A and B are shown apart, each in its own frame.
Chain A
Amino acid sequence: MNVLEVKNVVKKFGNYAASNNVSFEVEGGQIFGLLGPNGAGKTTLIRMINNILMPDEGEIHIFGEKLYPEQQNRFGYLPEERGLYKKLKVIEQIVYFARLKGLTKHDAIDRAHHWLKKLGANGWENKKIQELSKGMQQKIQFITTVLHSPELIILDEPFSGFDPINTELIKSILLELRSQGKTIILSTHVMSQVEELCDNICMINKGKVVLQGKVSEIKSSYGRNHLIVEFSGDGGFIEKLKNVEILNRTNSRVEMKLLDSNINTNEIIKIITDSVQITRFDLSLPTMHEIFIDTVAKQRESNEQ
Chain B
Amino acid sequence: MSNKITTIISHEYITKVKSKGFIIGTLLGPIFLLLLIVIPGLVAYLSRDATSKKIAIVDKTEYGIGSKIVALDTAKYYISNETPEILRQKVLSGESDGFIVIDENVVRNGEAFVYTSGGGGIGFITSLENNIGNIVKVKQLKDAGATDSILKLMDKPFKIKTYRLTEKGEQKDFTEIYAALGYFLGFVIYFLMFMYGSFVSRGVIEEKANRIVEVIASSAKPFEIMMGKVIGIGLVGLTQIAVWIAIAFVGVVLAGTFFSGSISPEQIAQMQQQPFANTGGMMHIAGMEIPTISPWLIIGFIYYFLAGYFIFATLFAAVGSAVDQEQDAAQLQTPITLPIIIPILLIFNVISDPDGTLAIVLSLIPFFTPILMTVRIAATQVPLWQIITSVVLTIATFYGCLIVASRIYRVGILMYGKKPTFKDLLKWFKNAK
Q: Which residues of A contact B (CB under 8 A)?
A: 47, 50-53, 69, 72-73, 75, 77, 79, 81-88, 92, 96-97, 99-102, 144
B211 and A97 contact, CB distance less than 8 A: no
CB of B48 within 8 Å of the partner chain = no
Indicate whether B254 reaches chain A with its CB closer than 8 angstroms: no
**Is residue B3 within 8 Å, beta carbon to beta carbon, of the partner chain?**
yes
Q: Given A72-B219, A88-B15, A100-B4, are A52 and B212 also a contact pair (CB < 8 Å)?
A: no
Q: Say yes or no for B7: interface residue by CB 8 A criterion.
A: yes
Interface centre among B4, B207, B216, B220 (most CB of A within 10 A): B4
Query: When the two chains form their complex, are residues B215 and A53 in contact, meaning their CB atoms are under 8 A apart?
Result: no
Per-residue CB contact flags for chain B residues 198-223 toward chain A (1 = under 8 Å, else 0) read 00000000110011111111111100
A77 to B207, CA, bound (A): 16
CA distance A47 to B215 in the complex (A): 10
Residue of B7, B210, B414 near A100 (CB, 8 A) is: B7
Query: Can you offer 9 A-B residue contacts whose CB atoms are under 8 A?
Result: A77-B218, A83-B211, A83-B212, A92-B15, A97-B216, A100-B8, A100-B216, A100-B219, A100-B220
Q: Are A83 and B210 in contact (CB under 8 A)?
A: yes
Size category of the binding interface on chain B:
20 to 34
Q: Which A residue sits closest to B215, measured CB to CB?
A: A83
Identify which of B7, B8, B213, B221 contacts A83 (C-beta below 8 A): B213
A79, B414: Cβ atoms closer than 8 Å = no
Q: Would you call B90 an interface residue if the criterion is a C-beta within 8 Å of the partner chain's C-beta atoms?
A: no
Name the one of A47, A69, A75, A96 contacting B221, with C-beta atoms under 8 angstroms.
A69
Chain A hits for B11, CB < 8 A: 96, 99
The answer on a CB contact under 8 Å between A47 and B414 is yes
Task: Tell whether A83 pairs with B214 under 8 Å between CB atoms, given A53-B414, A100-B220.
Answer: yes
Find chain B residues with CB under 8 A from A73 CB: 219
A182 to B218, CA, bound (A): 18
For the complex, what is the distance from the CA of A134 to the CA of B8, rounded to whole Å?
26
Whole-angstrom CA separation of A102 from B2 in the bound complex: 11
Q: Roughly how many angstroms separate A86 CA and B207 CA in the complex, as a whole number?
A: 10
A81 touches B7 (CB 8 A): no
Q: In angstroms, how far is the closest chain B Cβ from the Cβ of A264?
A: 55
Query: Are A144 and B414 in contact, with the CB atoms below 8 A?
Result: no
Residue of A nearest to B219 (CB): A100
- Chain A residues lying within 8 Å of B220, measured Cβ to Cβ, are 72, 100
**B215 contacts which of A51, A79, A86, A88 (Cβ < 8 Å)?**
A79
